[in-house]
Structure 1
Amino acid sequence: MPDRNHQRPVPGRIRPPIGETYIIKQLLDIGAQTLLIPMVDSKEVAENLVKAVSYPPRGVRGVGAALARASRFNRIPDYLQTANDEICLLLQIESRAGLAALDEIASIDGVDGIFIGPADLAADMGHLGKPGAPEVQKEVEKALKRIQSHGKAAGILTADLSLARRYVDLGATFVAIGNDVTLFANATTRLIEEFNRTVSSQGSASSGSVY
């Protein structure tokens, strides 16, 4: 992925479907270093996720990675001793329960950043399909400030570029403005529209059919 300033590649973030310990272990063992875990709504869940990404005694991550891709198949010296410090754990807050526990979650050592999921948050607040609703935006803005007050990175997703700018101005340090599915859908829509315009403009010059 490119960054917005220099178009340089930056490490990818992997978002598993659920924050189960065994799934997290598999992702870390293949070399993932930044994980974005969805639907975190309590301090207990967040603490368990910190344990899942950490080797003992801090956590419960299995040491099989010493023979896995993450350690270049045991070619990285002291991998087990340094791995904990190289993992970036980002947690997604997407519900009213998550907002209620936000300060407790953000205060946990080992949580590197918190990402607000506005679509699911809006749905949970009774504004299904309306993440831009004033009530939702009020809570989002308060949440971004609360996250930063704990010294953690604050992030959010939005396809609205004016909102993206607003979030950056509020101190968000990572703002997702698209994803692979929407980028692909938008690109194919533009391609089809361009093709149809081309065919229409040439229609009078040809009586053939295009398949």
Structure 2
Amino acid sequence: MPLNAFKRNLKRTPPMIGVWSMSGSAMAAEALGFAGYDFVVLDMEHAPNDAPRVFGLLQAAAGSPASPVVRLQWNDTVTVKQLLDFGAQTLMFPYIQNADEARRAVAATRYPPEGVRGFAGMSRATRYGAIADYHRNAANEICVILQLETKKAVANLEEIAAIPGVDCIFIGPGDLSADMGFIGQPGHPEVQTVLAYAAARCSKLGMPSGILAGGSAQARDYLGYGFSWVASGSDLGLMMSNARSELKNLRSGG
């Protein structure tokens, strides 16, 4: 049974540091995995990644030391079934608002009678049938991350975190800032206050929490708030930032 390093390291010290992959490139995902990050988030929500492409991204990331985390485009049972059969072990569910939605997300990752995941014997997850006890033990290595992105969701944090099978809470600063009336301003003081508050509530519950930062300085702030892990930037963001810096230096003669 493949072990889920990300799940096992949720509460480790020092916290895990990762990066977002939005380009849809298997080569980029593989390269990021060798850059020294603890994990790479393969994004389906805001990137050109459907289930077949994620299959290739998981294969590319598998050879690197970094753990792959797949962010779904929605709380969709069919997509969850496909991704788990593809060998994904850590899934992030976006826009979870309440306990019922959290319960549905967990159920999609469990076989009956605990859940509704469909049975498949010949899949990448089972190493194409080579793992005889996969179906009895799969849940032990599956990590369920629920993304809270609105004031309503944050208000329901305790009831969401209390659902059995929830392993981690992720706070989405971008959508939260929009919901609070500060779209495009995740660094706004009022947004930051809510982020710090959410991290503290998770810590009090003993629930690991994660977040995405725009860069290293912001990532350090989030770790100071008490977040258990942080993703700092994305492949496209890092590429564009370096490209702009190089171009500026060339044009200025520096």
CA distance in 2, matches of 1:103, 1:14: 24
Match of 1:192 in 2: 247
Within 5 Å, give how 1:54-203 maps onto structure 2. 54-64=110-120, 66-196=121-251
Aligned to 1:45: 101
| CA distance in 1: counterparts of 2:68 and 2:249, whole angstroms | 32
Matched, 1:32 2:88: yes
The one-letter code sitting in structure 1 at the alignment partner of 2:192 is: Q
CA deviation after TM superposition for structure 1 residue 191, in Å: 4.1
The residue matched to 1:92 in structure 2 has which SS?
strand
Task: Provide Cα deviations, 1:52-94, integer angstroms capped at 9, x if missing partner.
Answer: 0111111100011x21111011111200011011101111111
Which amino acid counterpart does residue 74 of structure 2 have in structure 1?
A: I
Q: 1:44 & 1:185 partners in 2: Cα distance?
A: 39
- Quote the offset at 1:160 in angstroms: 4.1
> CA shift at 1:168, angstroms?
1.2
Partners of 1:106 and 1:129 lie apart in 2 by 27
Question: Going by fraction, where is helix more abundant, 1 or 2?
Answer: 1
CA RMSD of aligned residues (A): 1.8
Percent same amino acid at aligned positions? 41
Query: 1:22 offset after TM fit, Å?
Result: 0.3
Could you list the per-position Cα deviations for residues 98-117 of structure 1 after superposition, in whole angstroms to 9, with x for gaps in the alignment? 11211101111111101111
Q: SS of 2:175's equivalent? A: helix
Measured in 1, the distance between the counterparts of 2:37 and 2:236 equals 19
Q: Which runs of 5+ in 1 are unaligned?
A: 202-211
Shift of 1:195: 4.9
Measure, in 2, the Cα distance between the counterparts of 1:22 and 1:60.
Answer: 10
User: Which digits, 9 at most, give the CA deviation of each residue in 1:125-162, with x for residues without a partner?
Assistant: 11111111111111111100111222211111111433
TM-score, normalised to structure 1's length? 0.86
Matched residue SS, 1:175: strand
Question: Whole-Å Cα distance in 2 between the matches of residues 144 and 131 of structure 1?
Answer: 15
- TM-score, L = length of structure 2: 0.72
Greater RCO, 1 or 2 (C-alpha within 8 Å, sep 6+) = 2
- Aligned to 2:111, the other structure's residue is in SS state coil
Distance 1:71 1:191 in 2: 45
Question: What SS does the corresponding residue of 2:209 show, helix, strand or coil?
Answer: strand
Aligned partners of 2:224 and 2:250: how far apart in 1?
Answer: 39
8 A contact 2:109–2:117 mirrored in 1: yes
